């Protein structure tokens, strides 16, 4: 089974359209969205409606939660006063754009999606979250201590955990000894469709392949492909510059930070 996973679109319609074009070519068996549909660009309603039109199961990101509640707080970890001031403009502008029906959709999105496989008389849990199972806005970066990641996944009963929020994709295979057997867990950050921060301005999504012989005791049982796609970055950046949003967000799109 091939599962396409996308996240962190952040109101970037040109990126989402290019992402869907790529996904359609891949012909996956399922598609899930891990949230943060809105914020930082001018097309929050259009992005929401593209996702809804396709009936894609979607969970709430921290920005979706903030806008769903008409809050002025998105749960983002801005470091400097400049970043905080820019963030205030973005959430205020997004709140002014999002229409009532689209806001209701954001407000009722689920927090997690759990997909349970039963292959070869064995259980395999795929857990989809935005930040982490315990906090919608927790940043799980690639350098997170292995012990910490394993504890988070064990507590959530997740064999494969997919998440977004940091906009920096990675796949870590985490071995754990369980009664004479090695149990492999997979932590997968699926990157960002519309606001990449890993130095590559191309959009990113993940194709996860679960095989018939996939098992928790086989290290290479799943395939994780990070698919990068070109999109009209200039159109998205120009839209930012022509809006009340800070121009820095356009520069971030052009350079991928």
Partner 1 sequence: MEFPKDYKYSKEHAWLKVLDNEMALVGITEFAQSELGEVVYMDLPAVGKQFDKDEGFGSVEAVKTTSDLFMPVSGQVVEVNASLKDNAPLINSASFTEGWMIKIKMLNPSEAEALLDASAYEGLVS
DSSP state of 223: E
Do 60 and 135 touch, CB atoms closer than 8 A?
no
For 60, the token pair is: 């709430």
86 — phi, psi (to 5°)?
A: -65, -40
Binding segment (CB under 8 A) for partner 1, from list 137-145, 167-175, 226-234, 243-251: 137-145
Do 207 and 28 touch, CB atoms closer than 8 A?
yes
Q: How far is the CB of 141 from partner 1 (least distance, A)?
A: 8
Q: Which is nearer to partner 1, 138 or 159 (CB)?
A: 138
Q: Which is nearer to partner 1, 28 or 75 (CB)?
A: 75
CA nearest neighbour of 216 among 189, 245, 251, 177 = 177
Q: How far is the CB of 189 from partner 1 (least distance, A)?
A: 15
Of the residues 145, 177, 180, 213, which one makes contact with partner 1 according to CB under 8 A: 145
Interface characters, 35-54, with partner 1 (x: CB under 8 A):
--------------------
Question: Residue 144 interacts with partner 1 (CB under 8 A)?
Answer: yes
Q: Which is nearer to partner 1, 137 or 243 (CB)?
A: 137
* Cα–Cα distance measured from residue 20 to residue 25, given in angstroms and rounded to the nearest whole number: 8
Question: Residue 178 interacts with partner 1 (CB under 8 A)?
Answer: no
Do 156 and 127 touch, CB atoms closer than 8 A?
yes
Window 117 to 136, contacts with partner 1 (CB under 8 A): 131-132, 134-135
Q: Which is nearer to partner 1, 47 or 152 (CB)?
A: 152
Number of residues that bind partner 1 (CB under 8 A): 14
For 12, the token pair is: 């970037």
User: Residue with structure tokens 């970890």?
Assistant: 77
* Cα–Cα distance measured from residue 114 to residue 130, given in angstroms and rounded to the nearest whole number: 12
Burial profile 199-210: b = 16 or more Cβ within 10 angstroms, e = fewer:
eebbbbbbbbeb
Of the residues 69, 70, 77, 111, which one makes contact with partner 1 according to CB under 8 A: 77
Q: Which is nearer to partner 1, 94 or 166 (CB)?
A: 166
Binding site for partner 1 (CB under 8 A): 75, 77, 131-132, 134-135, 137-139, 141, 144-145, 148, 151
């Amino acid at each position: 089974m091939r599962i396409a996973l996308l996240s962190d679109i952040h109101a970037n319609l040109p990126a989402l359209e290019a992402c869907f074009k790529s996904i359609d070519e891949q012909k996956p068996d399922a598609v899930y969205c891990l949230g943060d549909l809105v914020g930082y660009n001018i097309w929050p309603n259009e992005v929401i409606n593209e996702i809804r039109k396709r009936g894609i199961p979607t969970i709430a990101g921290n920005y979706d939660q903030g806008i769903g509640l008409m809050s002025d707080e998105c749960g983002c970890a801005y470091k400097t006063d400049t970043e905080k001031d820019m963030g205030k403009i973005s959430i205020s502008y997004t709140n002014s754009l999002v229409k009532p029906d689209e806001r209701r959709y954001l407000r009722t999105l689920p927090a997690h999606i759990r997909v349970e496989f039963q292959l070869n008389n064995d259980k395999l849990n795929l857990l989809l979250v935005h930040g982490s199972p315990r906090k919608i806005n927790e940043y799980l970066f690639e350098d997170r201590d292995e012990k910490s990641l394993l504890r988070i996944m064990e507590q959530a009963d997740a064999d494969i955990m997919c998440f977004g929020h940091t906009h920096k994709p990675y796949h870590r295979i985490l071995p754990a000894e369980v009664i004479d057997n090695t149990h492999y867990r997979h932590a997968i950050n699926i990157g960002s469709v519309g606001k990449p921060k890993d130095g590559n301005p191309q959009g990113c999504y993940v194709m996860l392949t679960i095989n018939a012989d996939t098992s928790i005791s086989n290290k290479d049982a799943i395939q994780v492909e990070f698919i990068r796609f070109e999109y009209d970055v200039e159109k998205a950046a120009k839209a930012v510059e022509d809006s009340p949003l800070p121009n820095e967000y356009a520069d971030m799109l052009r350079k991928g930070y």
